[in-house]
Structure 1
Amino acid sequence: MILLQVQQVARHFGGDYLFKNAQLEVQDHARVALVGPNGAGKSTLLKMIAGITTPDDGQIILGKNVQVGYLAQDSGLSSERTIYAEMLTIFEPLRQMEQQMHTLEAAIADSSTDHTNADYADLLKRYDQIQHDFTEANGYGYEAEIRGVLHGFQFPEETFEKPISTLSGGERSRLALAKLLLAKKDVLILDEPTNHLDIETLTWLENYLQTYPGALLTVSHDRYFLDKITKEVYDMSRHTLTHYTGNYSHFLTLKADNLTLEWKAFEKQQAEIEKLQTFVDKNIVRASSTKQAQSRRKQLEKMDKLDRPQNDAAKIHFHFETEQPSGNEVLKVTEAAVGYEPDKIMVEPINFEVNRQERLAIIGPNGIGKSTLLKSVLHKIPFIKGQEKLGSNVSVGYYDQEQRNLHANKTVLEELWDDHRTTPEKEIRTLLGSFLFSGDDVLKVVSQLSGGEKARLLLTKLAMNHDNFLIMDEPTNHLDIDSKEVLETALRDFNGTVLFVSHDRYFINQVATGIIELSDTGSKRYLGDYDYYLAKKAEEEAFAAADTPTTTTQAIVTAQDGYKASKETQRAQRKLARLVEQLENQMGELEQQAADIQEEMAQSETITKPLVLQELQQKLETVQAQLAQTETEWEEQALALEGLSD
């Protein structure tokens, strides 16, 4: 069932279009991602769908009785109520129904002893109906649901009576999302819902949304989140929307494949045009061949010429370089405690070392002291206990998530030039250009910049300073996905050392060579990226569970059932092996189908027929979606087979 449709929608300013002819559809239970570079108009379109603004062209159609819930970017809940009282407002109709039940119960108890009269029968009938409706609407479970969602967003029981007006901005943002989830609208529109969430809360939210009864339309720069939640992607680029099936990673593959096909078709047509034009130029003046030349010229004039394929909007491009190498030991933190007062320690003991060319990610729940630890290392906040020691020849560059390293009254150009007075202006402008500050952009005052522009300016300053030890606090905040990918590459290629705090699990996976986990018990070091960290945590939990003693009876039963379990395992292995082989064959067939369709799309007689191309593209998307689903199933069954074999 279609819940909402966006039909030929546009937003324009004078003669310039932000986007036009936008087509989008959300069906029941859909999980849709809206992606694209910053400034493409994603949030603008979400506001139109939510009914906050109206399109300049086109229309947005909602299904009958479809309710839409909308969470704006960085929105916070404002209320004079307590946390729990505010959540209860969502269930006011249920609470009124509950009160009606109590009233009827009292009336039934107070009625006359003659249970055969009509009034008494009417009371019972009304009570049965309202009790049925109350049960169907989860009347006996809504308070447990409130507690579960609040706990998921890291609000423990003791905070439930806390006034919302006393909460921080991040806490109010989490509460706004919690309230929206509890409302269970038919369509949930979320603009950057992962902002202000730590990894633990993100994981909970992903699991919750996977079972959410309604449809989901979201904008997010969190690629890990998009891969786990979404099954469709609308790409907002080149001033319009393009639809893809599959999660975000699959979308990237499809988009790259489509761009390759576009280039092949374009280059093939250009070669044909050049060949025809050469014939015309050589033969138009020859009496013997002028008719053939005129025919070729008419063929050229009638040809439906393909536009040159375009990549997305300009991307930042830069790299970090060190002026001099540091010693092998870059930083050592010993028996440290961080906090803001001696009696308010956030985390202890903290012990870790950072060696040259390592890239270590610091992770942990919100409020544990990650940013405070970085500031203590930088001597901005003193350690309450312990100490830190920098190695020899270490020069530190700092990326502050609060962007306090920038001067509000300076221009973009002055922000760099004042720190590097001997550097020619042309060289500074060239560097700024690589971070997408061109022309008059360099004369903008810092206070007028967006969060993304300030983030790029901070990165520009870091790149220009050539420090060999980069300390970065949430460097991906405010960056779009393309900019994050460039930053990942720059940090991986960096010949210095990096210590960073991040909630972006995909970014951690791409950059980190090790993890430092902060928790209530202190710090713990893990090798590898985020996925390896998750595997080690699961292994630790498994070992802890295995340490639980089993009873003698359990041990006897296990021994008696061993032979039977072994036989069952062998049968399961054979069954899985056959299934894996079938899926592999199916994948091969689907891959061949996709290749055949792509080859047909590249044919010269197909290129000039837009309707045929569109039909083939739809077939290709269907086959590729089937292939992605088959690959996922194959991976699951192959892992299961591997598990049985161990």
Structure 2
Amino acid sequence: MIILQANQLSKAYGAETILSSIKMEIKHRDRVAVVGRNGAGKSTLLKMIAGELPHDGGELIIPNAVSVGYLPQQAVLSSDKSIWDEMLDEFSDLLAIEQRIRLLETKMGSEETLSNEASYNKIMKEYDTLRADFEARNGYQLEADIRGILSGLQFNGFDYYHTTVSSLSGGQKTRLALGKLLLTKPDLLILDEPTNHLDIDTLTWLEGYLQGYPGALLLVSHDRYFLDKIVNQVYEISRTHSQRFSGNYSYYQEQKALQYERDLKEFEKQQSEKHKLEDFVQRNIARASTTKRAQSRQKQLERRDWMDRPDGLEKSVAFTFPTDQVSGHDVLRVRDVTLQYDDQKEPLFPSSSFHIDRGERTALVGPNGVGKTTLLHMLRGQMPPSTGSFQLGSNITLGFYDQEQAQLRSTKTVLQELWDRYPSFDEKDIRTVLGNFLFSGDDCLKIVNTLSGGEKARLALAILMLKKANVLLLDEPTNHLDIDAKEVLEAALSHFSGTILFVSHDRYFMNQIATKVLELLPSGLTTYLGDYDYYLRKKEEEKERLALDALEQPKTDQEDGAQNESKESFEQQKDAKRKKRQQERRMAEIEELMQQTENEINALETALLQPETYEDHEKAHDVQLALQQANQTLEDLLVEWDECSTDNA
């Protein structure tokens, strides 16, 4: 069932065209990502689809029966209600039905009703109707759904009934707005950067929730790990146009690269043919004996629709992180450190120790509020530890990237800001550096405190690059960067010869960069010697070991039998979970194969309508056979998907 169609959509602001000829189709349960550079028009497209912005041209078709829910990037609730009441805000009609049901239950038990058969039957009829409606609209599950969503979004420590929305932080309000939207379960759920303000545990929960979401998803995100887990279609917005790719984000990247290679080869082949024709015309047009042949070639040149050179990659940032000197082998030693604010009774985390050697790339992970950013500020000398000590090694030059860009709030121009920090450079060199970070021409004259988040991030990276530090402390360095800029940053850090300690919620980025993971929790600090995937595997192993240890505690004879049963039950559960994961992976593979087969069927059906096919009986027969085979393949895949779905229920 198609729930959205966009045909030739366009949008412009003044003389600047933002989007043109946008085509999109979304079916029930599709998972669609919109990707592209910052400023490409992704959020604008989502706003038009959500009805927040009008489109200038084209057609947008959403059936009246389809409900649409939209979460913008800066979704912040403003309310004096409690968390619980805010979550119930969208369900006033359902709550009214529940109140009426309770009232009818009271009436049914009264002597007056019981003594009047007609009255009793009338109440029972209304009661049955309301109960069926309440159940159909998931009323009995509503409270459990609210608790599940609030728990998943890390509101466990809050008193739902008394904590007001107005008392929450900006990030918490954004998470609550996301929770409200998830609770309503619209047919088309539109999310613009939903992973902002979420820690890794919350991201993992959200991925699981969206994978089982009953409707269709349309989202914009710079989190590649998240996109790979969720989406099965990608629409790329580039140079105001859209192009559709099947599969997740990684598959889209592969297909885009292959398509560019194919298009470039076809373009070069056509250009070779064109040059031969032009050369023949030029050499033979004036000769009486060959002029007719030359004229024929000239008409062929004019009639043919020649390809334009395929567009290459759009301009991206380009930089490396050079160093002036090599640090000592022992870069950082932290001993028994705690951090505590003056107004807190307890430290952010217990006494913790760790060390970092030259060349290591260490990711610092943990829940929001545990003190990761504060620890980085301590290491750069902004605040002393509450207890314990730390020591930097020899020949250390520290470079710090601040996620808030707190130092970039001046009224200077971008050019002045960078030049004042590095006055030994001449203007040409400063402009060259800024050009590498996509500040060219008048962009260099923008006022710093008016820059967007992405522009400030690029300026902060330019400042950091010129410092030539050999130890980098990075606090959420991928925030505000588009995917292409993230990939350039990853490449620069991968070739960096120094040492890195960084905080990030970008799991894809961590996998590319980290060689060690420090997990900081309220209970303490643990070191894992590997990348992010290694850290996840070890965490899973720890959970399973703890579960087994709990089963292996000394028991009485009676408890021993129960223990063996529990152990067997645990192993059965483990086996069931493993089989479920295998089935889920197979279902994802089947869905991708189904999409590819549907594309093949569409191409074959189109081919049947072409004169060169239906006028050639043998060719038409071959295409018809291929179409029958593709339809049979699709039917077989649907049967297998249904079987997997039933087994996995």
Q: Same fold (TM over 0.5)?
A: yes
Query: Which runs of structure 2 are paired with 1:560-571 in the superposition (5 Å)?
Result: none
Q: Aligned pairs, how many?
A: 592
SS in 2 for 1:310: coil
**Deviation of the 1:468 alpha carbon:** 0.4
The farther-off stretch of 273-282 and 118-127 is 273-282
Q: What residue is the counterpart of 1:306 in the other structure?
A: 307
Tell whether 2:63 aligns with 1:63: yes
SS in 2 for 1:537: helix
Q: What residue is the counterpart of 2:555 in the other structure?
A: none
Distance 1:62 1:294 in 2: 52
Equivalent AA in structure 2 for residue 175 of structure 1: L
Distance 2:567 2:190 in 1: 54
Tell whether 2:327 aligns with 1:360: no
CA 89–534 in structure 1, closer or farther in 2 if over 3 Å, else same: same
**Deviation of the 1:390 alpha carbon:** 0.5
CA 351–115 in structure 1, closer or farther in 2 if over 3 Å, else same: same
Equivalent AA in structure 1 for residue 186 of structure 2: K
Distance 2:296 2:105 in 1: 93
Offset from partner CA, 1:8-32 (integer Å, 9 cap, x none): 1101234442111111122212211
Distance 1:241 1:63 in 2: 23
Distance 2:235 2:68 in 1: 19
The correspondence for 1:457, drawn from 456, 459, 466, is: 459
SS in 2 for 1:159: coil
**Deviation of the 1:500 alpha carbon:** 0.5
Q: What residue is the counterpart of 2:620 in the other structure?
A: none
**Deviation of the 1:283 alpha carbon:** 3.0
CA 473–278 in structure 1, closer or farther in 2 if over 3 Å, else same: same
Query: Which runs of structure 2 are paired with 1:155-554 in the superposition (5 Å)?
Result: 155-156=155-156, 158-160=158-160, 161-341=162-342, 343-550=345-552, 552-553=560-561
Equivalent AA in structure 1 for residue 252 of structure 2: F
Q: What residue is the counterpart of 1:609 in the other structure?
A: none
Distance 1:343 1:526 in 2: 30
Q: CA RMSD in A?
A: 3.3
Offset from partner CA, 1:231-268 (integer Å, 9 cap, x none): 11111112111111111111111111111111011011
Distance 1:560 1:41 in 2: 55
Contact 1:339 1:369 in 2 (8 A): no
SS in 1 for 2:455: helix
Offset from partner CA, 1:145-184 (integer Å, 9 cap, x none): 1111111111125431211111111111111101111111
Equivalent AA in structure 1 for residue 534 of structure 2: Y
The farther-off stretch of 89-98 and 132-141 is 132-141
Q: What residue is the counterpart of 2:619 in the other structure?
A: none
**Deviation of the 1:507 alpha carbon:** 0.6
**Deviation of the 1:556 alpha carbon:** 7.7
Distance 1:80 1:559 in 2: 49
**Deviation of the 1:554 alpha carbon:** 6.7
**Deviation of the 1:557 alpha carbon:** 8.1
**Deviation of the 1:116 alpha carbon:** 6.3
**Deviation of the 1:559 alpha carbon:** 13
- TM superposition score normalised by structure 1: 0.86
SS in 2 for 1:181: helix
**Deviation of the 1:186 alpha carbon:** 1.5
Contact 1:399 1:475 in 2 (8 A): yes
Offset from partner CA, 1:50-107 (integer Å, 9 cap, x none): 1111001112221122221111102111101111111122222221111101111121
Equivalent AA in structure 2 for residue 26 of structure 1: I
Tell whether 2:32 aligns with 1:24: no
- TM superposition score normalised by structure 2: 0.85
Q: What residue is the counterpart of 2:118 in the other structure?
A: 118
CA 556–304 in structure 1, closer or farther in 2 if over 3 Å, else same: closer
Identity of aligned residues (%): 49
Distance 1:10 1:560 in 2: 61
Q: Which stretches in structure 2 are left out of the alignment for 5+ residues?
A: 553-558, 613-622, 645-649
**Deviation of the 1:560 alpha carbon:** 12
SS in 1 for 2:112: coil
The farther-off stretch of 114-123 and 351-360 is 114-123
Equivalent AA in structure 2 for residue 452 of structure 1: G
Equivalent AA in structure 2 for residue 271 of structure 1: S
Distance 1:189 1:527 in 2: 38
Distance 2:131 2:84 in 1: 25
Distance 2:243 2:286 in 1: 47
Contact 1:339 1:372 in 2 (8 A): no
Contact 2:71 2:191 in 1 (8 A): yes
SS in 2 for 1:88: helix
Q: What residue is the counterpart of 1:34 in the other structure?
A: 34
Q: Which stretches in structure 1 are left out of the alignment for 5+ residues?
A: 607-615, 638-646
CA 157–352 in structure 1, closer or farther in 2 if over 3 Å, else same: closer
Equivalent AA in structure 1 for residue 99 of structure 2: Q
Distance 1:344 1:332 in 2: 24
Offset from partner CA, 1:263-318 (integer Å, 9 cap, x none): 01101101111222222333334444333333322222222110111124211111
SS in 2 for 1:141: helix
**Deviation of the 1:427 alpha carbon:** 0.9
